[in-house]
Structure 1
Amino acid sequence: MALSLLVLTDFFQPADHALAYADALAGAIGAQLVLLHVRRDSLLDPEHLTGQVDTLNQEAIALALESLTRELVTPVVAEVAHGRVAEAVADALRRHQPALVVFGHRNTDAMPDALVSTAALDMLRTAPQPMLVVPVHTSPLIPHRLLLALDAEAFSLGEHAGLVRHLFDALPAELTVLHVGPDEASAAAGTAAAAEALERTGLALDLTTGLRTQSLVHGTPAGGILQVIASGEFDLVVLVARPRSFLGKLFHRSVTAHVLLHSPIPVLVLPAA
């Protein structure tokens, strides 16, 4: 089965930016696109109260999808589903088995994290899957400077390791491992442990650009990661999300959720096995 990226669209600007980014990435790694629009026509959908649900009819949706796909460089299959986003995505995952799910992310910096609910966050809670979250103002450029933010614990990506290895090989990427600690000693020790954990996965064995490391002292891991991102030295941040990140309300206080919500560059989230 050919490598594919599942991209969600609601025809709003964040989704359009995500699609352009996914198109560039798919071309670089030899993938095809599956473009999914969900008609959220369930009256129980809470987004009806926020005005975030489109009210386009079937003909308008078909025209909008045709307009979007006409501009794409990579091969694409466009589909329309009905109901709730999580259920529609789950069905698309079963049928297409994409390597990656791509979401657009509108700016929510003015809202408290606890009040923010996005399709990406919901999916991480219910069906952890490799996903790429693209902020609204991201340019559709192929990423080459990757920041891999890790804790000091060993990890495995299980069945998703092949996707990551393919990304590293196809881009090719300059990879920097970052660990954030509360003091210099713990930051340095954690960075060494994080690099060793990555090397044990075998994902860094064939890196033509080598593996760089960076440690940072900061009061919170998420704050430190965002500080490094703000330097402008990287164009993609990679996070390994532990299963404990998805436990109920605690997820909103996790490093993954905070970086995903506030990063100005795309975030690739990989669920640990």
Structure 2
Amino acid sequence: MTPSLVVLTDFYAVPNRALSYAAGLAVPLHAQLVLLHVRHDNLLAPAEYGDSYHTWRGEQKTAFALQQLATDQPVPTEVDISDDALPAAVREAVRHRHPLLLVLGRPDPLIAPEELVVGTAMNLLRRVPYPLLLVPGAGWDAFPPRRLLLLVDGQPFGLRPHQDLVRRLLQATGGTLGVVQVLTDGAATPDVAAVLGTVRANDLVDAVGDESLYQVYQPTVVDGALAEASRQQADLLVVVARPHGWLGGLLHDSVTARLLRASPIPVLVLPAEEEG
């Protein structure tokens, strides 16, 4: 089966940078794209589109525009249009398509409020736990990504059935993986082998040496992760999101949400398995 990337897109494809990024990623992954549009969603079909959007003619115009957008892509691209709520539409797409990941754009706040975008991402992670890539609307140019930075907390985690995603990205792009652990409140420096053991246990890469781990002290995890990403000139930040615990239970004020809100580079969120 040809792998796919599901791109959540609006009527005008405003987050075109996210679509361009997904297409640029699909080429080395030998993947196809699926443009998923949800007719009744505050982010993908806001009220500003007007009443005519929901008429028969408006729906036909939407379908035509999305089909044209699909034709313009550098890889085979299909269009899915759903009348379901966004989580249900995504759940159905995941069930039928088994994509490598979901892609969502973070457009300029003048186009879509920041809290709406982040809230949409967090609700999806909570209700349809699946790898989610959030792509900023501007401020970066590197794609496909070649310098990945994985944020860990040093505690064990499990990523099945998605633990091969990072490996596939690295193999497809010829990229490298660094690992960062942010230490706050004067915490003692944990054992390097133990921290890297949590990465090795998930078989994310062929080999990860001690030199791959960067342990930094910062007042907050978000500050530390973004500062290290900038220092390393990383072009993709990878975050393990736990259902409970260190990343805040996928709440809108969790570390995950704050990173999605603040990161100037794309963020790939990998939902971890429930513990215990």
Q: In 1, distance between residues paired with 2:17 and 2:147?
A: 20
Deviation at 1:96, TM superposition (A): 1.1
In structure 1, the partner of 2:197 is 196
Are the structure 2 counterparts of residues 7 and 210 from structure 1 closer, same or farther at C-alpha, using a change threshold of 3 Å?
farther
RMSD: 3.0
**Residue type matched to 2:181 in 1?**
H
- Give unpaired runs (5+ residues) of structure 1: none
Asked if residue 78 in structure 1 is aligned to residue 103 in structure 2, the reply is: no
Asked if residue 159 in structure 1 is aligned to residue 149 in structure 2, the reply is: no
In structure 2, the partner of 1:132 is 133
In structure 2, the partner of 1:241 is 241
Q: In 1, distance between residues paired with 2:34 and 2:180?
A: 33
Query: Normalization by structure 1: what TM-score?
Result: 0.85
Q: In 1, distance between residues paired with 2:44 and 2:96?
A: 28
In structure 1, the partner of 2:124 is 123
1:229-258 alpha-carbon deviations (Å, 9 max, x no partner): 3447110000000111474xx712211111
Assess if the C-alpha contact under 8 Å between 1:238 and 1:269 holds in 2: yes
In structure 2, the partner of 1:67 is 68
Assess if the C-alpha contact under 8 Å between 1:184 and 1:216 holds in 2: no
Assess if the C-alpha contact under 8 Å between 1:175 and 1:210 holds in 2: no
Assess if the C-alpha contact under 8 Å between 1:23 and 1:73 holds in 2: yes
Q: In 2, distance between residues paired with 1:52 and 1:129?
A: 29
Are the structure 2 counterparts of residues 90 and 215 from structure 1 closer, same or farther at C-alpha, using a change threshold of 3 Å?
same
Q: In 2, distance between residues paired with 1:94 and 1:236?
A: 27
Note the 1:24-35 alignment, pairs <5 A. Answer: 24-35=24-35
1:197-220 alpha-carbon deviations (Å, 9 max, x no partner): 11222222257x996221211111
Q: Is the partner of 2:5 in helix, strand or coil?
A: strand
In structure 2, the partner of 1:267 is 267
Assess if the C-alpha contact under 8 Å between 2:29 and 2:169 holds in 1: yes
Q: In 1, distance between residues paired with 2:143 and 2:196?
A: 27
Query: Normalization by structure 2: what TM-score?
Result: 0.84
Assess if the C-alpha contact under 8 Å between 1:24 and 1:140 holds in 2: no
Q: Is the partner of 2:133 in helix, strand or coil?
A: strand
Note the 1:247-262 alignment, pairs <5 A. Answer: 247=249, 251-262=251-262
Assess if the C-alpha contact under 8 Å between 2:35 and 2:77 holds in 1: yes
Q: Is the partner of 1:253 in helix, strand or coil?
A: coil
Q: Is the partner of 2:88 in helix, strand or coil?
A: helix
Are the structure 2 counterparts of residues 65 and 210 from structure 1 closer, same or farther at C-alpha, using a change threshold of 3 Å?
farther
- Give unpaired runs (5+ residues) of structure 2: none
Identity of aligned residues (%): 37
In structure 2, the partner of 1:10 is 10
Q: In 2, distance between residues paired with 1:75 and 1:50?
A: 28
In structure 2, the partner of 1:91 is 92
Assess if the C-alpha contact under 8 Å between 1:105 and 1:135 holds in 2: yes
